[in-house]
Amino acid sequence: MSQENEHVKCLIIGSGPAGYTAAIYAARADLKPVLYTGLLVGGQLTQTTEVENYPGYPDGIQGPEMMLNFEKQASRLGTDIRFGYVSSVDFSSQPHKVVIDESKTVLADTVIISTGASAKWLGLESEQKYNGFGVSACAVCDGFFFRGQDVAIVGAGDTAAEEATYLAKLCRKVYMLVRRDEFRASKAMVHRVLNTHNIEILYNSETKEILGDGQVVTGLRVFNNKTGAEKDLDITGFFVAIGHHPNTEIFKGWIDMDENGYIITQSGSSKTNIEGVFACGDAQDHVYRQAITAAGTGCMAAIDAERYLAAREHAIPA
């Protein structure tokens, strides 16, 4: 039998903590969810190493292993998990049309968007080489591992300033690389950075190379973009805080978003501007961006979808 135009009750797009948690709840509500993983199966957590701040793992757990556990649980409860990516959507009528891998159309009564966000990187080969081994895009996630050590952070906005002051509480010294001769951050955040004694700001500075011993980060080569002068810093941790971009491009024109592309949900819910379409995780959260908050909103999305379907089923015909 051809699977073209397959009809499902609940389609989940994305396989991070939000998507898998939505799947767990949707499966238990007998929505028979179908989940498409996207190209990065397991999401951002598969690109990190030790996770110590997720409740229930007293000794910590490796990110990839944790996401495998999420997947196994969703599958055991009845989620149909498939590898594939969503190439386009049409939310103009019910059921919603979602095209997978540019070839197959799925008709879905409810759609849960959990496509996440991706950290912006500098684009250095050494940055990817040591990602998870001294290089991180999340100070709140990984700063703990660098207690009492010297680290560097690159960025000049509010997030960078906030993460620098967070790291300063844990680390002996924080070098902050600012590309221009001024911050982009708000005055209040700049004031906080300038008044933190163990943050050293390097203006007009850019990263040339992340130095390492083949296994972990051991230093950083920076250059002054005005004078061209180079110098090496002895550090063990390098944090990139130049922003994130939500993976929401395919929903543009259908779903309401803020100026940065994050999906706007109704306050206290996962509902979007389209009936029957819900959003959870980092695709709609630019504030917290943690696995635990993503999982929480995934739970909300599944409950919202279940209630939406129940209300529709019991609606009195006009």
Catalytic residues: 138, 141-142
In eight-state DSSP terms, residue 156 is -
Task: Give the containing element (helix H, strand E) for 220.
Answer: strand 217-224
Pick the closest to residue 82 from 160, 6, 184 (CA basis): 6
Contact 208, 230 (CB under 8 A): yes
Three-state secondary structure readout of 246-294? ECCHHHCCCCCECCCCCECCCCCCCECCCCCEEECHHHCCCCCCCHHHH
Half-sphere exposure at residue 197, Cβ-oriented, CA atoms within 13 angstroms: 1
Classify the C-alpha dihedral 262-299-30-117 as positive or negative: positive
Distance from C-alpha of 107 to C-alpha of 121, rounded to nearest angstrom: 36
Rounded to 5 degrees, what are φ and ψ at 239? -110, 130
